[in-house]
Structure 1
Amino acid sequence: MKYISSTQNKLIKEVLLLRDKSRQRRKTGLFVSEGHRELELLLKGGYKVHTLFAAKGIANIEAMEDLISRSEQKPEIIEVSEEVYKKMAYRETTEGIIAMVHSKTHDLDSIRFSDKNPLILIAEAPEKPGNIGALLRTADAANLDAVIIANPKTDLYNPNIIRSGVGCLFTTQVATASTTEILEWLEQHGINVYCAALTASVNYHTVDYCAPSAIVVGTEATGLTDEWLQASTQNIIIPMQGEIDSMNVSVSAAIIIFEAKRQRNFE
C-alpha cells in the first residue's frame, strides 16, 4: 500500500483543491467525502470511488477494505500520516477516512419514479449549504422521490452540504435546473405545484397532497419568485402564532412534507 507523509505531496494538494474550490470540482468531475458512514452511503448510491485515503493509526483499514470489496469497486487505497490526514480533513471526527469520488450528473432526465404518484421537494435558489443539507436529511427521512434545486447558488458537492446532510446527498435523487426548466418538467409529468408563500395562500394542512405533488420552498429572505407563484396549483402557508412571519426553510419544508406523508398514510 502506498504511503504519503508529506503535506506537500501533489495528490494531497489536489484533494485540498477539490475540498475547497467548486471550480476544481466542476473541472475534474471529482469531489471529496469524509468518514466511514459517508463512504458506505455513497457506495450504496452507486458512486464510483477514485481514491481512498486512510490515516495511519486512526482508520479501521480492514473494515474499509471489507466495505469496498462488497461493492466490487477497486479504488487505489493510500495510507497517510496523521499530519497529512489532519491537513486534508474538513471535519475532526471522520474516522481517518477520506475519499476522492467521481461526481454524478444531476439533470432532470436522471430522475426516475418508482410509482406514478411521486412526492418531491423543490427549493429555489437556496444559498446556505447547511440549509441544503438539512433539506436533504428531511427528504431522506420522509423517503421522498426526489429533491430538485432551482437556480442553484452552490454546487451539490460543497463539503458543508455533504456534512450537514450526513451523506443523504448520496442516497437521494437530486437534480438541479432553472425554474423555467423545472416548471416545464413538472407539467410534462402531471405534478401539482404547492408553493410555500405569504400571499393568496391557504393553510398547508387543508391541501390534498395525495396526487403527484411538488412542495416548493424559497429563501427565508425573499421567498419564491413570481414565476413560481404564477404557476402554483395552490399557495400554502404555515400559520405563525408569534411575532415573526417565517421559519427556517428546512423546518418549514419538514412540517409540510410530513403532513403530505400523513395524508398518504406514510407510504
Structure 2
Amino acid sequence: MKEITSVQNALVKKMILLKEKSRERKKTGLFVIEGQRELDLALKGGYVIETLCVCPEITEIDFAQADLKIKTIHISKEVFKKVAHRDTTEGVLALVESKEHSLQSSFKLKENPFILVAEAPEKPGNLGALLRTADAANLDAVLIANPKTDLYNPNIIRSSVGCIFTNKIVTGSSKELITFLNNQKIKIFCAALTASKNYVEADFTGGSAIVVGTEATGLTDEWLNNSFQNVIIPMQGEIDSMNVSVSAAILIFEAKRQRGF
C-alpha cells in the first residue's frame, strides 16, 4: 500500500488547500472529511470517497481489509496532524466528491412534508447546528436561501457532526425557494418579531416550512411578504431573541409534537 510521510507531498498540499479555500472546493468539486463518524455518515449518505488516508499510528481500524473498494493510502502521524483540525478524529482523512444541491438535482418530497429554511446563514457554526437539529428531527429537507458560505466548509462539517451528510439539502435564491414552496402548497411559517402568533398556537400539521433568518437582522421582506403565518417564541427575560439554532429547535420540535412524532 502506498504511504505518505512528507508534508510536502502533492496530495497533502491539495488536501490542505481544499480545507482552507472555498474557491478550490468549488473548482475541483472535492472536499475533505476527517473522522470515522463523519466518514461513516458520508458513506451512508451516498457520497463518493475518492481517496481514503489512514494513519496506522493512530487508528486501529484496518481499512485495507474493509470491503469499501476505496483507494486507501497510509499517512504518517506528522502528515495527519498537518492536515487535520483535531487530534481526536481517529487518524482518518478522506478526499470526497461534493454533491449537487440545486432544486434541479432530482429533488422530490414525500406527502405532507416538514422543512426547515435558513435564509442567508452567515456563521458556519450556526448552520452546522441547524443541520444537527434537522437530523435529530428527521426533517424532510433543509433549504438554504442565498447561502453565504459553501456547504463543505470544514467548520460546517465539524459543527454539524457529520449531519451535513444525513440531511436532504437544497440551496437556491429566496425567489426560487419561495416559488418552489408555493408550487408544492407548503405553508411558510416565518420566525419573526412582528405580526406574529405564539408558536404553540400555530398549526404545523399540514405541509410546513419553518423559516429562520440571521440573528443580526432576522428575515428579509421577501420571506415575510410570502409568509402564511409569522410565529414567535415569547421571551420572559430582557432580550428579544435567542441563538437561531436554539429558536429553530424549539419551533421544529413543537411542530413534530403536533404532527404526532
CA distance in 2, matches of 1:152, 1:34: 23
Aligned to 1:101: 96
CA distance in 2, matches of 1:253, 1:177: 20
Identity of aligned residues (%): 64
Is 1:179 aligned to 2:174, yes or no? yes
Gaps of 5+ in 1: none
Following TM superposition, by how much is the alpha carbon of 1:61 offset from its aligned partner in structure 2, in angstroms?
3.6
Is 1:265 aligned to 2:260, yes or no? yes
Aligned to 1:168: 163
Closer/same/farther in 2, CA of residues 147 and 227 from structure 1, 3 Å limit: same
CA distance in 2, matches of 1:81, 1:50: 19
Amino acid at match of 2:20: D
Aligned to 2:80: 85
Aligned to 2:52: 52
TM-score (norm 2): 0.97
TM-score (norm 1): 0.95
Following TM superposition, by how much is the alpha carbon of 1:65 offset from its aligned partner in structure 2, in angstroms?
4.3
Following TM superposition, by how much is the alpha carbon of 1:66 offset from its aligned partner in structure 2, in angstroms?
5.5
CA distance in 2, matches of 1:188, 1:85: 48
Gaps of 5+ in 2: none
Closer/same/farther in 2, CA of residues 66 and 135 from structure 1, 3 Å limit: farther
Tell me how many residue pairs correspond in the alignment: 260
Aligned to 2:229: 234
CA distance in 2, matches of 1:257, 1:191: 15
Amino acid at match of 1:247: M
Q: How is 1:7-22 mapped onto 2 (pairs within 5 angstroms)?
A: 7-22=7-22
Q: Judging by fraction of residues, say which structure has more helix.
A: 1
Closer/same/farther in 2, CA of residues 65 and 265 from structure 1, 3 Å limit: farther
Aligned to 1:215: 210
Closer/same/farther in 2, CA of residues 66 and 174 from structure 1, 3 Å limit: farther
**Which residue, 158, 163, 166 being the options, matches 2:153?**
158
SS of the aligned residue for 2:143 comes to strand
Per-residue CA deviations over 1:191-235 (Å, capped at 9, x if unaligned) read: 000000011101011011010000000001000000000000000
CA distance in 2, matches of 1:56, 1:39: 17
- The two structures, once aligned, show a CA RMSD in angstroms of 1.0
CA distance in 2, matches of 1:137, 1:60: 28
